[in-house]
Structure 1
Amino acid sequence: MNRMENSDDVMAQIGRGQELAIAGDAEGARHLFAEVWGALEASPEGTRDPLHIVTLAHYMADVQTDPAEELRWDLRALEAADALTDDRAQRHDASLQVAAFYPSLHLNVAAAHLALGHVPEARFHLDRAAEESHHLAEDGYGNTIRGAIARLHHRIDEIAPVIPLGNSERCAEHR
């Protein structure tokens, strides 16, 4: 069993919200996540746990109906990951490594940017996701994220093909 025993009520509440989301109750999940977020924001600045923030923001993004709100939460999750340590993550689950969070986080930011029509930003974050994907395990989750990265790359390339460097005739056509 990889899960370590803990009494982390915040992670338990986030887990309940994720269960609502999986069951199709996105509105209920958003409401519960908003309550948890309010409690986190009310806590003193130095006591906010980056694991709570990254996890909550990641799941909150998934239940948004507005792509701009989804992006806002995805960026919040990405920023929080920068403050998270392996030690803290592993106190929640011994198998966690923060580096393995980045492919999914960048993938989500890329997808939200693409939904908003921000192709260069989407491509930037998708490239980061691909660069970080070597941190993913060779398992079902890792394969799912790698597959999603490849599919989103394909979608972006269909929408806005990359013009090869030195192809000035083709560049001139797009001016």
Structure 2
Amino acid sequence: MDQPATTDPVMDPVMDAVVVAVEAGRAGDRTGARARFDALWEQVGADGDPFHRCTLAHYAADVQDDPHTELVWDERALAAADELTDERVQRHHASLSVGGFLPSLHLNLADVYRRLGDDERARHHLTRARDRVGALPDDGYGAMIRAGIGRCGERLDLGDRS
């Protein structure tokens, strides 16, 4: 889930708004991105479309300044992924699968738990990420997630909290 997939010909205003929020964050407007994600979460709701919840929570975590708040968003993303089906994600883009999301979602949780000093939970999610790397594509995205898993494991072994 590194790049938000584009919708091609299906219109999806929520995903369009997620892309706008992601772009704001990447342009340095983290405060504005957080406000956009918060408003989107209110719009979608905690029981809304799991694809929307998973995607927006995944990206909202990336613009948080507080790791505890980041953890809340990462947990929301994984919880929503548990409700997702391949059929639903493929309505957005034919190349997507829920299994392809899970290594990244578990990596994010492992990393935030590592930074918070909860090594047990960090190792749990790192193991779950490693167990699911077979679902990653053999492309730049897959390589990036695999490398991230390796780096997170190394930092965890070193006791690095940064």
Same fold (TM over 0.5): yes
Letter in 2 for 1:20: A
1:77-88 alignment to 2 at 5 Å?
77-88=77-88
What is the distance in 2 between the residues matched to 1:66 and 1:115?
A: 11
Matched, 1:147 2:147: yes
What is the distance in 1 between the residues matched to 2:123 and 2:106?
A: 10
Residue equivalent to 1:68: 68
Letter in 2 for 1:133: V
Letter in 1 for 2:71: L
| 5+ residue gaps, structure 1 | 161-175
What is the distance in 1 between the residues matched to 2:150 and 2:119?
A: 16
Instruction: Give runs of ≥4 in structure 1 deviating > 4 Å.
Output: none
Residue equivalent to 2:3: none
User: What TM-score comes out, normalization by structure 2 length?
Assistant: 0.92
> By how many angstroms is 1:157 displaced?
1.2
| Paired-residue identity, % | 48
The answer to whether the 8 A contact 1:103-1:132 is kept is: yes
Residue equivalent to 2:8: 4
Number of residues paired by the alignment? Answer: 155
Residue equivalent to 2:159: 159
1:125-136 alignment to 2 at 5 Å?
125-136=125-136
Q: Which of structures 1 and 2 has the bigger CA Rg?
A: 1
SS in 2 for 1:137: coil
| 5+ residue gaps, structure 2 | 1-5
Q: CA RMSD in A?
A: 1.5
The answer to whether the 8 A contact 1:3-1:94 is kept is: no
Residue equivalent to 2:115: 115
User: What TM-score comes out, normalization by structure 1 length?
Assistant: 0.85
